[in-house]
Chains A and B, each alone.
Chain A
Amino acid sequence: MPSLGADMEAGTLVEWLTKPGDEVKRGQVVAVVETQKGAVDVEIWEAGTVDKLIVETGRKVPVGELLALLRTSGESTTAVPETPETLEPQRVATVSALAIASPSRVETAPVSAVASARLRVSPSARKLAEELGIDITLMRATEPGAVIARADIERAAKEKTTTPVATRTTTPDWHAQMRIAIAAAMSRSKREIPHYYLATDIDVTAVIRWLETENLKRSVTERLLPVVPFMRATALALHEVPELNGFWVDGAFQPSAAVHLGMAIAMRGGGLVAPAIHDADKKGLDQLMADLRDLVTRVRSGRLRSSEMSDPTVTFTNLGEQGVESVFGVIYPPQVAIIGLGRITERPWVKDGTVVVSTVVTATLAADHRASDGHRGGLFLAALGRLLQEPERLR
């Protein structure tokens, strides 16, 4: 059972998406696990052949428990002994121990989808629903926490003929569960992490102008949101101050070579999640926009993947849209920094001794003082500001 957050203690295996004898690829989704924060697609981290599923569906097991046995390419079928002990079992989907603390799984907008993620659906019921064209996201278990069974699907199919859309309901404990998950991560953060906070105003006229010109050339489906060049600049600036990118584990900082940018995404109806855009420093603006679109869409109507939940190396939060000027972030342990963006707005700005109107944003950094100092944090914000002056180079 992978750890999908520092505060996760156990998970319920909802569904196996593989069976003994199946060839699996690295990164393939092999199971669905229900956590306190919702259902998550669990990916496998090694290629091989599924040998045996140990944990049956519906069972709740602690983090670290063996879920299944996998044969890697070197191990032949015939050579596999009956006893798993001598098999050097590979743990399925062992997610890094550096798992992020609070990516609270998110179920939002379509309230129906909220229910879906919290619902436990038996695999055969899931199959039947597919056959009958029943939207599981609109289903409700007979009692809170109960598993949706074939009978529920059959009943829904009957009702479907009379009512075109099933009643939308929220699962009663969803908000409470999400608050518990956020509370655990944020309390740990404020208890353990000595935060320091920095803010700086950045003239972003150049990048916003460039974006307007660029978007004029693009059809509506290809347009870039203003946040995208900021994500790119943030990822690049982290290269210059690597002590903001990584994890604080067992009393020491472990830098991360990769920049997996955790995007804080507010949920409709409350709560938030901060899943990762992987290798954000290696992606151009179009790819980042596509990834962001995919991520937000799945956050709001689908499911996140275990790797997105567990491996952000730093968090990025954009609260400017509702008019917030500056964000004083709370770090997600075991990460060591969170970068905040406020509202992009026109302000009086002194340039060459004259007051001019400039497009300005306040960028902030909350960082772990155990891993870095204010001086280095200041250099990061300076690098961010510098990179944003040359938008063509961010492409």
Chain B
Amino acid sequence: MIPRSREEIRDIIFDALGAIAPEVDPAMIVPDRSLREQVDIDSFDFLNFIIRLHETLGIDIPEKDYAELFTLDSAIEYLVGRCATHL
């Protein structure tokens, strides 16, 4: 896959979140606090969030890695790494 910059990944995350919770202002998201808490998404929304990331980035996100997407910071870190290594 193509390596992606942190900024690109952040925008992709915001797009995916925006599709699920359009009322959320990305600027208000505290980067080191739980995303699910701030955006009020349930497991169904979260699965759709993962599916969108999977489709946009072309990477597989195994269920055991879901915890890596807990906060905005950790999600960016994880996805940047995943895109760099995923073949």
A residues apposed to B, CB below 8 Å: 109-112, 168, 212, 215-216, 219-221, 223, 225-227, 266, 268-269, 292-293, 296, 321
Contacts and interface: CB of A to CB of B under 8 A. Distances in A.
28 contacts: A109-B23, A109-B45, A111-B22, A111-B23, A112-B22, A168-B22, A215-B63, A216-B62, A216-B64, A219-B60, A220-B50, A220-B54, A220-B60, A220-B61, A221-B51, A221-B54, A223-B47, A223-B63, A225-B44, A225-B47, A227-B43, A268-B21, A268-B23, A269-B23, A292-B44, A293-B44, A321-B42, A321-B43
A74 to B, nearest CB: 45
Contacts of B62: 216
A309 to B, nearest CB: 20
A216 B47 CA distance: 14
A269 B54 CA distance: 27
Contact of B44 (A219, A221, A296): A296
Interface in B13-48: 20-23, 40, 42-45, 47
Contacts of A227: 43
Nearest to B60: A220
Contacts of B44: 225, 292-293, 296
The 10 nearest A-B residue pairs measured at CB: A220-B54, A215-B63, A110-B22, A296-B44, A321-B42, A225-B43, A220-B51, A220-B50, A111-B23, A221-B51
Given A109-B21, A220-B51, A220-B54, 17 more contacts: A109-B20, A109-B23, A111-B22, A168-B22, A212-B63, A215-B63, A216-B63, A219-B60, A220-B50, A220-B60, A223-B47, A225-B43, A225-B44, A266-B42, A268-B21, A268-B23, A268-B40
Contacts of A296: 44
A219 B54 CA distance: 10
Contacts of A110: 22
Most buried by B among A168, A215, A226, A268: A268
A321 B46 CA distance: 11
A112 B19 CA distance: 12
Interface in B40-85: 40, 42-45, 47, 50-51, 54, 60-64
Contacts of B40: 268
A364 B21 CA distance: 30
Contacts of A225: 43-44, 47
Nearest to B54: A220
A215 B63 CA distance: 7
B23 A226 contact: no
A221 B53 CA distance: 11
